[in-house]
Amino acid sequence: MHEPLDDQYGELASSGDRVASEPAWGRVTLDDVRAALAEIEPPFRDAYMLHSFDRLPYEDIARRLGIERITVGTRLSRARKKLRDILVVRFGLEDRP
């Protein structure tokens, strides 16, 4: 299957060459993510911060939060979804995988 070349692949320069444009998600900074984290519930925020910023493995997060290891994965998944939803609205990003 062929996909049309459109803006998601870059813009055409006057010479006809493609000029790569910055992906929409590339504009989101770490500070933006931290600000969005303030809007999600503490159980999800805490798990996300321990994993993404402190780089703790699931086992250590589970121990620190007093939850099962599998719950860590669930909370991380839900935190990512919530962050994505917040950032999509905040920055007018298209929500697609």
Sign of CA dihedral 61, 62, 66, 72: positive
Taking residues 10-27, what's their average pLDDT?
60
Question: Please, are residues 74 and 66 in contact by the beta-carbon 8 Å criterion?
Answer: no
Q: Is 8 domain-assigned?
A: no
Q: Is 17 domain-assigned?
A: no
pLDDT tens digits for range 29-86: 999 999 999 999 999 999 999 999 999 999 999 999 999 999 999 999 999 999 999 9
Q: Is 47 domain-assigned?
A: yes
Q: How many domains does the chain have?
A: 1
User: What is the pLDDT, as a whole number, of residue 17?
Assistant: 53
Q: Is the pTM of this model over 0.75?
A: no
Give the range of the structural domain holding residue 47, as residue numbers without chain letter: 28-91
- Kindly report the CATH number assigned to the domain that includes residue 41: 1.10.10.10
